[in-house]
Amino acid sequence: MSAFPNTEQNRVTLAFLDPEREATYWSDFYTEHRVFVKWAFLPAILGVAGWGPLEWMLFPERFGQFWFVRYGILLPGLLVGLVVALHPRFVPFMRRNTQEFALVLVAWSFLWLGVLAVLLIDLQQERHVLYVGLLYAVTALYPYVVIRMRFLYASMVGWGFFLIAVGVLFAAGSGTAFSKLVLVAAGSLFNFAAMYGAYLIERLHRRAWLTSRALIDEQAKAERLLLNVLPSVIAERLKGMEKPIADSFDAVTVLFADIAGFTPLSATMAPRDLVDMLDTIFSAFDSIADEHGVEKIKTIGDAYMAAAGIPIPREDHATVICAMALQMQQWLHDHPQRGDIDVRIGVHSGPVVAGVIGRRKFIYDLWGDTVNTASRMESHGEPGRVQLTEATRALVGSTFELLPRGVIEVKGLGQVETWW
């Protein structure tokens, strides 16, 4: 248990010392046992309703009083409890107070069962002693096992009802001393055994819950790590064991950004300062990408690659990439620690192939002439400027102010018309 933080428990009550963890435990307990609560109430309701004929046969002279207590008070109270426990309106209340609610309801029910026993005291009959013992034996298991009350509360109502039964037995003039002592001894033994069983059940359940929560937390961490590497829709496909993951997109806009003069700059910086600088810049770019709904693909050294229109196609892929590029430049301009840092940004639109490669350190990547052209737009650009191809310019139209750069010679592509 010490492998998980904040799991210390009170050895007697078994409660977690961390109030938030204790509240979460009982909230999860209610969610897990909400349907079970219904099946805990139903036998109680049926038992209370069906017990009446036995009392009528054993004690016809008290049936009027019994009827009022059993059917006028006890049974309606249990029905109200069932509605509160299961009605959607009361779910938030039950999540926070499920055990306290069970304690009050069971204690209230046992109190009225005790009243039924008290009504028989003046009959001075041996069957009164046997009836009280039978009533206790039938109902005493309820808080310990049936309703799944916590060990502490079950013990409170269990011993409380036991003391009521003992008081009624010894207040009655009927019954032999031996029969009463037998019932007291049997009831005490039962209570100790039931307490120990309830203690073990709750202890084991809490340990199982800790293990379950630890697994859920680890799964959430793994999920977050996976989403840091892959788009969410691709991550779901990967978890579904789809192989290979490969898609073709006809209309995508790709962005490359590269820090100008990074190589000589890195030679003058301490390793920690260099990494901190890249982390600050690329983390800001990640936030900008998220803001525009753009998919970050990867970083390569001091280069940053992103794309729009994948893995979910969108009509405005060129517009959002250009808006992101301008915001990246603006962030660098406004950042107080940027110094003389500038980035070249290149953008191009067209078809790509996208997919997941690798088995352990997998990556979601893009391939095709569109990727190569966008990279060339960056490498043939200028610091502090965003360079577009004619294909991207045609898609953004008059959304942005564009300046023609003219036709430039691009390695591997030849003559290319570009725009700032």
Confidence of residue 159 (pLDDT cuts 50, 70, 90): confident
Confidence of residue 129 (pLDDT cuts 50, 70, 90): low
If phi > 0 it is left, if psi is from -120 to 50 it is alpha, else beta; for residue 288 that is: alpha
Predicted TM-score (pTM) of this structure: 0.57
Among the ranges 9-13, 31-35, 230-234, which has the highest mean pLDDT value? 9-13
H or E segment and range at residue 187 = helix 177-229
pLDDT (tens digit per residue) in 14-35? 888 888 888 888 888 877 777 7
Please tell me the predicted confidence (pLDDT) of residue 254: 95
No. of helices (H) and no. of strands (E), the chain = 15, 8
pLDDT (tens digit per residue) in 320-354? 999 999 999 999 888 765 557 888 999 999 999 98
First vs last Cα of the chain: how many Å apart?
A: 61
Spatial separation of the C-alpha atoms in residues 103 and 109, rounded to whole Å:
10
Spatial separation of the C-alpha atoms in residues 6 and 14, rounded to whole Å:
14
pLDDT of 1 above 50: no
CA triple 383-339-379, angle to 5 deg: 20
Confidence of residue 66 (pLDDT cuts 50, 70, 90): confident
Burial class (CB in 10 A: 0-12, 13-18, 19+), 22: middle
